[in-house]
Each structure stands twice: as C-alpha cells, then as structure tokens.
Amino acid sequence: MKDYYQILGIEKTATDEEIKKAYRKLAHQYHPDKKGGNESKFKEINEAYQVLGNKDKRKQYDSFGGAFEGGGGFDFSSFWGQQDFDFSDIFDSFFSGFQKKRDINKGRDLELLISINLEDALTGLEKTINLSKLVECERCSGKGAEPGTELKECAMCRGTGQVQQMKKTFLGTMTRTTTCPECKGQGRIPEKPCNVCKGKGRIKSEEEIQVSIPAGVDSGQVIEIPGKGEAGKRGGPSGNLYVKIKVNPHPLFERKGDDLFTEKEISFTQAALGDEVEIETLEGKKLFLKVPQGTDSGKVFKLSGKGIPRFSGWGRGSLFVQLNIETPKKLTRKQKELLKSLKKQGL
C-alpha cells in the first residue's frame, strides 16, 4: 500500500494548507515539461494529493488505508493489481462528457430581501442599498496581476484549466478530467500577484446599488438586476442580484392580490336611517361612502379603482369596505330613555 504522506513528505497531522503547499512544490519540481521532470513521480504526487487533498477521501484513507483493508473486508487492491479503486471515479468518467459546461470565471449570484410598506406598493419607489460583496480589484482591474506584469500560461494544465487523471480499474484504464489545482481552472496565473487582491482579481467591499421597485409589487416577487452580483474571477462576467420583496402588514388595510379590504364602524342610527360616512384610503385621501337606510352590520361595499395598481400597469384593484354597527358601551340617561321608548315602538 502506498504511503501518500511519505510521497508528499508531510506528517499525518499536516493541515490542509500544508498538504496543498507540499503538493505544489513537488508538482513544480517533477512536472514532465520541466527540465529534470519525472512523469512517473509527478503522477504519484498527483495521486497522493487527490486523496489527501479531499477531506472525505483522506478520512477514508486514514481509517482503512488505500486498499480498504482491515475489519475482515475483502482486499480489492490485492485483487485488482494494487490499484486505488473508487466506483465514483468510474461513473464520473462515464458521465463527465454529459455535464453542462459552465463559466468558472462568472461571479456568484446574490440574493437580497427588501421589506417595503404597503404605501410603497401603491406608488413604487427607488431604494438605495449598500451591499457587501466581492468587487473587481481596482489596482489590477480584475486581472489578478500586479500592474506592469502579465498573466502567464499555467504550466500544470498548459492553459487548458483542466488536468487528466488515469486510473486502472477492473473495467480497464479510466481517464478522468478535473479542474487544475494549480490555476483553479483559469488556465493562466499571474507572473506577479497583485499586492491588493493577492492574485484573485477581487476584493471584499461595499457597493451602493439603486433598486427600482415598481408599483403593484407584492410579497414574494423577485426583481432581477443583471451584473450586480459578485464580480467575476480575473475579468469574468459578474453575477446577478436577485431582490425578493416583502410587503409589511398595514394596520388599517389588508391586501388580497390587487384589492384592499378595510372595516368601518357606524352607529345604529346611521345604519337605520342612512348617512354618508368618511372612508380613509391608502393614499391618505378621504372619500365619502353613502350608507343606505336599513344597512345590516357586516355589509360590504366595493369602491372600484381604489386598490393597488396592477403590476401589468393597466388599472387598479378595488377597495372593499365592511360596515360594522357599533354597540355603545355607555349611555346617558336621556339616551336610555329614548331607546326604551323605541323598544316600546318595536325597535
């Protein structure tokens, strides 16, 4: 069984950073394209890093060894010529050609939740936000290289951004293409890393962004702002910003779609004799509602065009007003006498 720790020249207690550092040093030293390189040694180093550089595989290796020996299990390595065996590698090799190619330089999309008042949904608004994210480094203009220097081709992947791994399995020799660990799939690395972003082309900063929230927007709707996500890697395209809207509850009005619902208390005499009552609208303006004689408590009246503007831009919803007859809690002596008199009259 191969000792991957010995191959990389590190202790079993080595950290992830120490493993990566040792691998890079040895990979540069033994790369086949370099003078004095050793292809066999380079493959062995790469094999060791693929195991120790992966937390799950390293844990598996530390527990059972490369052959999964111990605990009475079958020794696959002995049977298959002392080769590291992993079903996942086989299936990855078969199906890697069907994976959708993505732009590895594209910046990450961001999501943001913005709360607005119901009045804002009536008129729409412009909102300014300060968003903390990865932005393009100004010193190197996102290239990752110190000004005056260039990006050079990655020696490990020869500018392709990918490396191939070959493994022998019971199905034969399988070739697997993976992201180059040296350039992280970029294909190029800076001759001299930028002093500000350390070669990454991006730094953490805040950006002031204007968000246009249209009238009629409702909770759960998402506004897409192209290019306002995180900056891309080394000049790659930026991601998008997705703003999800939450409309805060209102103390007076309840919203259902584009319609508004409210309640208004009226007196017994107003309901019995009829009247005009003042109704408040979401705009803050007052309007008058005619109450017919004999109106029952709970009666709902519809006021067209007094609701929320439709998101399509055509027209507005309605305002529905429920009239509730208010029962007085305290009565004067005269009021009691009048009510007793009405009671005698059958009211």
Q: How far is it, in rounded angstroms, from Cα 169 to Cα 153? A: 33
Both tokens assigned to 139: 């010193």
Do 304 and 233 share a structural domain?
A: no
Domain CATH number, residue 316: 2.60.260.20
Q: What are phi and psi of 194, to 5 degrees?
A: -60, 135
* Domain contains 95: no
* Domain contains 101: no
| DSSP reduced 3-state for 115 | strand
Q: How far is it, in rounded angstroms, from Cα 212 to Cα 52? A: 49
Reduce the secondary structure of 330-343 to three states and give it as a string: CCCHHHHHHHHHHH
Closest CA to 280 of 312, 252, 246: 252
Alpha helices in the chain (DSSP H): 4-8, 16-30, 39-52, 55-64, 76-79, 87-95, 118-123, 268-273, 333-344
* Domain contains 340: yes
Do 230 and 275 share a structural domain?
A: no
Domain CATH number, residue 70: 1.10.287.110
Domain count, the chain: 3
Do 123 and 77 share a structural domain?
A: no
Of 205, 227, 247, the position where a domain reaches its end is 247
* Domain contains 51: yes
* Domain contains 103: no
* Domain contains 67: yes
Do 64 and 21 share a structural domain?
A: yes
Do 237 and 133 share a structural domain?
A: yes
Of 228, 247, 266, the position where a domain reaches its end is 247
Inter-axis angle of helices 39-52 and 16-30, to 10 degrees? 170
Do 218 and 312 share a structural domain?
A: no
Q: What's the domain range around 328?
A: 254-344
Do 142 and 182 share a structural domain?
A: yes
Domain CATH number, residue 223: 2.10.230.10
Do 242 and 146 share a structural domain?
A: yes
User: The tokens 């009239």 sit on which residue?
Assistant: 323
Do 306 and 226 share a structural domain?
A: no
* Domain contains 90: no
Q: Would you state the pLDDT for residue 122? A: 92
* Domain contains 105: no
Q: Per-residue pLDDT for the chain (347 aa), expressed as one digit of tens each?
A: 678 899 999 998 999 989 989 988 888 888 877 777 888 888 888 888 888 888 888 888 887 664 433 333 334 333 333 344 444 444 444 444 434 445 677 899 999 999 999 999 999 999 999 999 999 999 998 888 999 998 898 888 888 888 887 777 666 677 788 888 888 888 888 989 999 998 888 999 999 999 999 999 999 999 999 999 999 887 789 999 999 999 999 999 999 999 999 999 999 889 988 999 999 999 888 899 999 999 999 999 999 999 999 987 788 999 999 999 988 888 888 888 888 887 787 76
Q: Would you state the pLDDT for residue 103? A: 66
* Cα angle, residue 61 at apex, residues 60 and 63 outer, rounded to 5°: 65
Do 302 and 269 share a structural domain?
A: yes
Q: How far is it, in rounded angstroms, from Cα 253 to Cα 264? A: 11
298 neighbors 261 (Cβ within 8 angstroms): no
